[in-house]
Amino acid sequence: MILIKTTSDNHDFSDNHGGQDIGLVKLNSRREVEWKKSIGDTLEDYFKKCIQYKNKFYLHTISHEPVDPSGNGVYHVQSTLTVLNDSGRL
């Protein structure tokens, strides 16, 4: 599994959710792409950790957006645990 940050401006991921998303690419044993998708919401999304256990991938992600327009560093932050099976389904 390869995780990257993406805004999908060049349409390499067709399922962009707005802002910065997390791009997931699953390779097979020949290093060919089996599937790719993006996860996230309308906030800025970042991945913190990906763990594979048996046939599932556990992703810890963080989403945030500024809630103070004056730029004082006040953010809405959301932490999410996402579980994907080996086929990329939630």
45-78: pLDDT as tens digits: 888 888 989 889 999 888 887 777 776 777 778 8
DSSP conformational letter for 69: T
Higher pLDDT, 18 or 84: 84
Asked whether residue 90 is assigned to any structural domain, the reply reads no
Tens of pLDDT, residues 14-48:
676 677 888 889 999 999 999 988 888 777 888 88
Q: Is the pLDDT of residue 11 over 70?
A: no
In this predicted structure, the answer to whether residue 88 has a pLDDT above a threshold of 80 is yes
Residue 59 lies in a domain: yes
How many domains would you assign to the chain?
A: 1
Longest alpha-carbon distance in the chain: 50
The Cα 67–Cα 86 span in angstroms is 36
Q: Confirm whether 6 is domain-assigned.
A: yes
pLDDT at 43: 78
To the nearest 10°, report the CA torsion of 58, 32, 8, 79.
10
State the residue range of the domain holding 42.
2-85
